[in-house]
Amino acid sequence: MAREDIVSNVNEQLILVDDQDRELGFKSKGDCHAGAGVLHRAFSIFVFNGDNELLLQKRSGTKLLWPNYWSNACCSHPRRGESMDDAVSRRLLQELGFSCPLVFLYKFKYRAEFGTVGAEHELCWVYYGRYDGPLDVNLNEIAEWRFIGVEALERELINAPETYTPWFKMEWVHIKTHFLDGMLASTGTDG
């Protein structure tokens, strides 16, 4: 299934943070991503199915930053006054139309510039979940989606790294090194 809900805009208020993830204030999404970017709180969600395949999305062509690039299942920002738990659940439903239990893995800070268009400068919380069920994809956010096995993903990252978002590549290296064995050993699924 697919739908076309509008679930974000450049005026929504994001949470500004320092290097230790302490809240400093708020700024619009548009302002946070302009120029070299302003450090703000974000999240990234990795979802595997029961066959240990990772859910990937190709970002919508209408996205300002990294349009039509492949990335992890879901990534976004908590909004002003919103807890991270509420934000990750909200966005998974908004983009992919499902919910599943999510486990916090780690957080990290990065900056990535998209030419002269703007930048991501985020303190990103990374989550993991498992799901085997139908998707109801939001076409305003996602151009394509697919599940991919770890070996096939590794080949793609070697042969065509330029087709993936920078944060996905950074997160995947860390997950592969520190968490992947435990994630793939997990057998619990929801769906």
Inter-residue contact 190 to 133 (CB < 8 Å) = yes
Residue 124 has which token pair? 């990103």
pLDDT averaged over every residue in the chain: 93
Asked whether the beta carbons of 72 and 48 are under 8 A apart, the reply is: no
The catalytically annotated residue of 122, 124, 141, 171 is 122
Q: Is 122 a catalytic residue?
A: yes
* Residues 6 or more apart in contact with residue 81 via CB below 8 angstroms: none
CB of 40 closer than 8 Å to CB of 85:
no
Domains of the chain: 2-185 (3.90.79.10)
Q: What is the pLDDT of residue 24?
A: 97
Place 130 in a pLDDT band, splitting at 50, 70 and 90.
very high
**What local confidence, expressed as pLDDT, does residue 10 receive?**
83
Label residue 191 by pLDDT band (50, 70, 90). Answer: very low
Q: What percent of the chain has pLDDT above 70?
A: 93
Question: What pLDDT shows up at residue 17?
Answer: 98
- In terms of pTM, does the model score above 0.85? yes
Strand partners, 118: 114
Mean pLDDT of all residues in 132-151: 96
Q: Which residue among the candidates 32, 74, 75, 100 is catalytic per the annotation?
A: 75
Q: Which of 5-9, 16-20, 33-37, 87-91 has the lowest mean pLDDT?
A: 5-9
Query: Is the pLDDT confidence value at 3 over 50?
Result: no
Q: What is the mean pLDDT of residues 113-142?
A: 96
pLDDT of amino acid 190: 46
